[in-house]
Amino acid sequence: MQVQLTVNGKPHSVDVPPNTLLVQVLREHLKLTGTHVGCDTAQCGACTVIKDGHAIKSCNVLAAQVSGSAITTIEGLAEPDGTMHPMQAAFKECHGLQCGYCTTGMVMSAVDLCKHHPKATAGEIRELLEGNICRCTGYQNIIKAVQQGQAAMNP
């Protein structure tokens, strides 16, 4: 089946079997490997992308379900000149990562969180990121990074 997507601002038409997941289209067909597969069950959040302005876990959504949608992956956050998105910069500056596997999904969820909850407190941020699992950190620097990114995104 033919799936039409706008990914990171560029239109794509992909021919895939009906049971193809969005994460497979992104990674295997479009070669956007920043979106990670961590659990295949929508539990860890490593596959989080933004679909039409809202964070979703791409490992449990069929590509056919999102045909016609605008998708933003971690590769689409930075400016064309390479300037990092404020949330990416905050994760770097606050060292909100360790192994980095969850980071792309965590950043995408944080961008969505700050868009929809621009004044979230540290406790609310912790609660709103519940669907993203980091197995390496104690979340302290992640929370700091989200707060710094939030301040930069919502001056």
Q: Give 103-119 pLDDT, tens digit per residue.
A: 999 999 999 999 999 99
142: containing domain:
86-153
pLDDT at 108: 97
Residues 10 and 64 grouped into a single domain = yes
Sheet with 48-51, side-by-side order of all strands: 10-15, 2-7, 70-72, 48-51, 54-57
Q: Give 3-50 pLDDT, tens digit per residue.
A: 999 999 999 999 999 999 999 999 999 999 999 998 878 889 999 999
pTM of the model: 0.94
* CB 4, CB 12: distance < 8 Å: yes
Coil, strand or helix: which one is 139?
A: coil
CA distance 110 to 149: 8
Query: Per the domain annotation, does 112 fall within a domain?
Result: yes
Single-letter amino acid, residue 39: C
Can you tell me the mean pLDDT for 43-60? 96
Residues 95 and 46 grouped into a single domain = no
Count of structural domains, the chain: 2
Can you tell me the mean pLDDT for 117-136? 93
